[in-house]
Structure formats: structure tokens, C-alpha cells
A and B are shown apart, each in its own frame.
Chain A
Amino acid sequence: MSGRRPLSRPARFALGVVPMLAVLAWWQRQAAAGGSGGIAFASLGDIARAAGEQIANGALQTDAVATLSHALIGLAIGATLGLATGIAMALSAWAERLLGPLLQALRQVPMIGWLPLIALWFGTGEQSQIIVVVMAAFFPAMLNAHAGVGQVEKRLIEVGHVFGLTWGQRLRLILLPAALPMLLTGLTQALAFAWIAAIGTEILMGSGAGLGVTLQVAQTQQRLDLVFVSVAATAVLGFLLNHSIRRLRAWLLHWQPAGI
């Protein structure tokens, strides 16, 4: 506990850069030595060159657009269905009893576990990939919408009754705004799951375009440089997606007291 004194910003930065540089230096040495254990280490120059090539011939952009569209189309369908189902289950005991146990049971199967079955039924094309993404996005949206609408304070709902609001007005003016933080949490999680599912299905099905497809093909061709370019693109895009939805959430919830 000697390090309780806060470190200055430059010191923190310098310390953080050290291990990254160490990893890069070790990597470069392995590449210069011709690799070890039968692995052809790609030098940093090779990786940079591969990145340049992928951008110059447009492959990286095509892949990124394909993966993003799989993730976002799946998210749009899955989150919409999930939010609607979750809200319906929170408002209607009948829907809850009908769907609750069934959805809880389906939720237990790892999303990727559905892949072989869906591949048999719908082929290994884009359709199957999007179906898996839809399923991945559905459950977090559904669970959070269910919890969020279910937790709306009774007195708010009673105010709606007192004012004689119609069902639609109650939903629009009271339930949805009160549940908005949880709905957005659901959407945030759904986006993360959709992104992972999009990459995962591309790696496992390996057809068409996409970062995951290139990753898988590069692995079978032992192109470590290309593997790293794709992994880096995955990380950057994932970070940007996550960052954008956080900004959206903060903007939509600016009327709320901070810290929720």
C-alpha cells in the first residue's frame, strides 16, 4: 500500500506505455528471429503493410460495413422484439405466464450453440448470421424492459388512473419515461451481445464478407498480419459502438439526476 499517493498524469502515461512497448519489442524480436514453435511471427512492418493494403483495396471497409450491418440489422430486429416482449410481459400477467418460463428456458442455451441448428435449417449465409444476432440482442432487451417496466412506482401509475389517461397515454407519458434508464441499459447490453454474435457467427460460418470471415480465412492461411489487422478493427469498432451508445444514453437521460 505504498502507492497510495496519486501519480501525476505524465507518470501514469509513461508507466502505461512501458508494457505495450515491451510487448511490441518482444514481438519484433520474435519476428526478426524467424519465429518459434513453427509460428511465422509477422513483423510490425508486415502488420502495418497488411493494414495499408486492406484499406487501399477496400477490403477492410467492405468487411467493416458487412459486420456492422449484420450487427445493427440484428440489433434493430432483436431489440425491438425484445423490448416489446419485455413490456408486454411486465404489463400483462397472461403474457408473463405464457412466455416467461419458455423464454427463461431458451435463454439458458449459449447463443452460439444454436448456430449448427440454424445453419442446418437456413444455410450458412447472411440470413442465418442475422438470425443468431437477433436472438443474441433479444434477451438482454427483453429482460431489462421486463424489469424496468415492472419496477415503475405504483404511485406514478395511480396518478395516471386519477387523471383518467387512456392505456396508450399511460404507456407513453408514464411507463416508458420512468422505465427509460432500464430500457437503455437493455439496449446497451443488446448492442454488445449483437456485436459479439456478429463476429462469432462470421468466424464460425465463414461465408460472405465480414471482419470475422477475414479473421477465419487469415487464420487458415496462417496470415498472422491479417489476423491482427482484423482483430484490431474489431476492437476499434466495438469501442466506437459502445462509446456512441453511452453518449446516446447520457443525452436521452440528461433530465435525470446524475449517478443513476
Chain B
Amino acid sequence: MATFPLPSRPPAAHLALDLQRRLAPAAPFLVLLAAWQALSLSGLFPAQVLVPPTGVAHALWQLAESGELTRHLGESLSRLLLGFTAGALAGLAFGTTIALSRVAEAVASPLFLTLWQVPVIAFVPVLILFLGIDNPFKITVVAVAAFFPVALATFDAVRSVPRGHFEVARVYRVPLTALVRRVLVPATLPAVLVGLRIALTRAWVVLVAAELLAADSGVGQMMEMGRQMFQIGVVMAGVLVSGLVGFVLDRAARAAEARATRWRRA
């Protein structure tokens, strides 16, 4: 059948096909946006209830122009950074310790596993009672949310380093700092990075929830204020921003992961 060669496509058609393939994923969005705009302009629902996409864009623009968006986003991100750093460092230290010492594991793991059964969000009312509703509370919530995944990933990673590695290091009398830097870190890095990424995205979710509940600024608070003042455009802009931040954090962490473990694929 296919004995004679297929005619090669003219370049213009090729380009059009390429463009079509690239734009195809966007098509459902465009259809949805158009349907949404049409529905909100049709007057079936009150304009305040079903804000059209243009209305959301307008709200976002106003928030950006007045500096509100930068302020809220900046507050949220600085809380995230502080809380995540504290929680992740504590998780790394805790996970490594209970993985290396049987005594430390026996002492700490029952309490750790008990607390782990509680959803982080249920700690929110407890922490509010102890810390109030200001920044210390929000940073602590983020730290708690980041601590558990990092501690578990670190524990698993350090535990699964082959015993032989440590024995060789002992035979060669490798000092502790070199042991950590040249044996422990390379062997555990991939798994720990996955734990850090999961912790980062969870921390963001918990922070938005905490800000919804109690804050004077932040992306969550921006949405909550929008809700109380019945500005659905602002609420939707907040949904959009929190989704974008979550997406960017996840992608950045994945990129860092790929960079840091490049040597593995070589």
C-alpha cells in the first residue's frame, strides 16, 4: 500500500498544525471563559453573584493598582517563608535524630505519631488560644504544617541509607561533618527534597486557611474581606492568586529538585 512517498506538507500548513497543537489545551478554557462571560451577561443571575471574567480581571487590576495585592501577597509570602524555614529545619533535625538513634526514636516517636493523627487545621484553634491571632500564630501554624512531612521524609530517607555506607565511613574514620556532607546528604537528598516540596505546598494551604480565619492581612484575609463585603470579584481574584502561588511554589520546588538530583540521571 504505502509504497509511494507521502507528499511533504507545505510549511504554512505545518506551522498551522503546530500552532493548533500548542493552542489545543487552551481551547476548553477559552470556551469556558466565553460561556461564563455570556452567562453572567445574560442576566439569569444577579451581576453581584455571578461576576463575569472581565469583572474578576477588573477587581484584580484594582487590587494591583492600589497596592493592596502586593501588600497582602507580601505578608503571606513572608509568613510562609519564615514558618516553612523553621518547620523544615526542625523536621530535618528531628527526622535525622530519630532515624540514627534507637533511643531517640523510642522516646519521641510515640508522641510524634499521636500528634500526627491530628489534622493540622485542628491545631488552629489550639494555637490561637496560646498565641493569639497575630503573626506568631500564623508562622507557627505554617511551621507545624511543614514539620510533619519533612520529618517523616527525612526519617525514611536516613533509615534507608544502606548500613554498609556507615560501616565503610567508620572503617575509614571519616569525621562526623564529612560523614554528613559526603554520605548522608547525597544518599538522602532526593527523598528529602520530595518531602520539602510536599511540605511547602501543604504549608501554603494551611496558611491561606489560617488567614481566612484570623488575620488583618494576607491573601486569605483579602478573600475573607471580599466575602464579608460581598465583593465576589475580589474573592475570585483571591482564589486565582492563591492557586497561582500554589502552582508556582510546586513548579519551583520541582525545578530545584531536578537540579539538585541531576547527577543521579547522568
Contacts and interface: CB of A to CB of B under 8 A. Distances in A.
Contact of B230 (A106, A112, A120): A120
B25 A114 contact: no
Interface stretch (B3-11, B80-88, B102-110, B189-197): B102-110
Given A16-B110, A227-B125, A120 B118 contact: no
Nearest to A17: B110
Contacts of A218: 125
A3 B102 contact: yes
A150 to B, nearest CB: 18
Contacts of A7: 102-103, 106
Contacts of B124: 203
A201 to B, nearest CB: 9
Interface stretch (A45-53, A174-182, A192-200, A250-258): A192-200
A101 B208 contact: no
B212 A231 contact: no
Interface string B86-123: 00000000000000111110111111001001110111
Interface string B21-45: 0001110110010000000000000
Interface in B196-226: 204-205, 208-209, 212-213, 220, 223-224, 226
Nearest to A102: B28
B212 A101 contact: no
A81 interface: no
A12 B106 contact: yes
Interface stretch (A54-62, A92-100, A151-159, A183-191): A92-100
A83 interface: no
A124 to B, nearest CB: 10
A100 B25 contact: yes
- Chain B interface mostly: helix
A110 B204 contact: yes
A3 B103 contact: yes
User: Which bucket holds chain A's interface residue count?
Assistant: 35 or more
A218 B32 CA distance: 43
Contact of B227 (A3, A101, A120): A120
Interface residues of B, number: 57
Nearest to B247: A108
B36 to A, nearest CB: 12
B239 A19 contact: no
B168 interface: no
Contact of A102 (B29, B205, B240): B29
A104 to B, nearest CB: 9
A116 interface: yes
Interface string A107-137: 0111111111101110000000000000000
A23 interface: yes
A238 B119 contact: yes
A227 B126 contact: yes
Contacts, number: 156
B243 interface: yes
Interface in A60-89: none
B212 A115 contact: yes
Contact of B213 (A6, A117, A195, A204): A204
A231 B103 CA distance: 29
A234 B119 contact: yes
A112 B212 contact: yes
A99 B27 CA distance: 10
A241 B29 CA distance: 37
A2 B108 CA distance: 17
Nearest to B163: A4
Given A16-B110, A204-B209, A116 B227 contact: yes
B28 A15 contact: no
B208 A108 contact: no
Given A20-B110, A101-B28, A204-B213, 11 more contacts: A6-B102, A7-B106, A16-B106, A102-B28, A108-B247, A110-B243, A113-B220, A117-B227, A196-B119, A204-B209, A238-B117
19 contacts: A2-B101, A11-B106, A15-B107, A20-B111, A20-B114, A98-B28, A101-B28, A108-B243, A108-B246, A112-B121, A112-B208, A116-B226, A117-B223, A117-B236, A119-B227, A196-B119, A200-B121, A200-B209, A231-B126
Interface of A: 1-7, 11-12, 15-20, 23, 39, 97-102, 105-106, 108-117, 119-121, 195-196, 199-200, 203-204, 212, 215-216, 218-219, 222, 224, 227-228, 230-231, 234-236, 238-239
Interface of B: 24-26, 28-29, 32, 49, 100-104, 106-111, 114, 117-119, 121-126, 128-130, 166, 170, 204-205, 208-209, 212-213, 220, 223-224, 226-227, 230, 232, 235-236, 238-240, 242-244, 246-247, 250
